[in-house]
Amino acid sequence: MKFAFSIPVKSHAHLLAGCLESLRRQDEGVRIGLLDASFDPGVPGILARYTDMIDYAYHRRDGGQAEAINSGWSHLDADIYGWLNADDLLRPGILGRVAQTFNANPAVDVVFGHAVHVDMDGRFLEYFPAIEPDANRLRDGCSIAQPACFVRGQVLQRTGCLDPALHYAMDWDLWLRLLAGGARFAFMDDVIAAVRIHDATKTSSFSLRRYREIQAVARRANTGARATVIAARFLCSDILRRRNGNNWVAAARRAMAGAKAGVRGATARSIRGLAPGRNWVEQGCELILPTFDEGSLCARVWVDQPGIYLDQVAQAERIAQPMEGTDDSVFGRGYAVEVAVTGHDWRVVRVARPGGAWRLLGAELRAGTDAARDLSISPS
């Protein structure tokens, strides 16, 4: 099974090597269209290391992200199509499991799964909180993470590609058109991709155009005031993910996060033990931490409660120590627990607190050098 990926590059070109390295580490055929509108002088040097993987490329000004992705797809012949931004990552070997899902379900047109949100340093923040296994929930919001979604070529041709007039909501618009056209969606309960969350992304821009665009897309699937409610929900989600910025944004984020964290047991739904959007853990959770390092690693997990935690990988008790010298804009104040990791591609961490519920603030892999955590650096 052949997979085609468009990779538009406008900013964050220094992270492109990590994106390409994640595609190299797949066990299915991959074809890549590299659409570079960054004018970054470092891009040719990065591509020189991945020339064997690139089937189509340009380095010029283009009509925007959606137009670039469509251009890449039009030059790639494959069975399954998707796209990655320059700062996105695919889990090593995951396309083999995606291919198995498609092959086992010939009537399925779209396969999607979980994604991890990480910061610019590769630290775990949360699982994509809006994920909904039921594709019909797409009418209420974008419940699919773009790098963790794959579409059969024939249904993409029938439905049409991305709307080049859209700048912010083209992924959600495509999922909705696929749904309205009768495409069959299949949810894969596995972590497929990693998405970087930082203040330089379009999602964090707080652009008025973004919310107008979201409202316009929502109106195609909803009627009346519901489209406005959905756009407001996107705004609240953006505020919760804002790590720095204006004082009013930071204040609103703290208030909303505190309110959500304080509602224990408000939802039974969780992703590997984490309550989506709140990172509340009733007892234990499993974290998937992206890395390219194949050596031995451990992890540091930040939590909000002191006391004893169970490292379920090492089957050992760990004491949560007060954090010192931590970037409060990322994790807030809390306690750190050093734990073991397992896994052959991205590392798995399992942590529980026998004493009751707690909140995960973040996690990072630890090694002898910081290079192990730098996902923009590929092996030489």
CA–CA separation, 273 and 379 (whole Å): 33
Q: Hey, what domains does the chain have and what are their CATH numbers?
A: 2-197 (3.90.550.10), 210-262 (no CATH), 280-373 (no CATH)
For residue 262, pLDDT beyond 70: no
HSE on the CB side for 120, CA within 13 Å? 11
Token look-up 């120590």 returns 321
**What does the pLDDT read at residue 332?**
63
**236, 248 Cβ separation under 8 angstroms:** no
Please write the tens of the pLDDT for every residue from 186-237: 999 999 999 998 665 555 555 777 778 888 888 877 655 666 666 667 667 7
Please write the tens of the pLDDT for every residue from 15-57: 999 999 999 999 999 999 999 999 999 999 999 999 999 999 9
Measured CA distances, 122 to 38, 249, 366, 375 (Å): 23, 23, 11, 6
Percent of the chain with pLDDT over 70: 80
Least confident of 145-159, 190-204, 244-258: 244-258
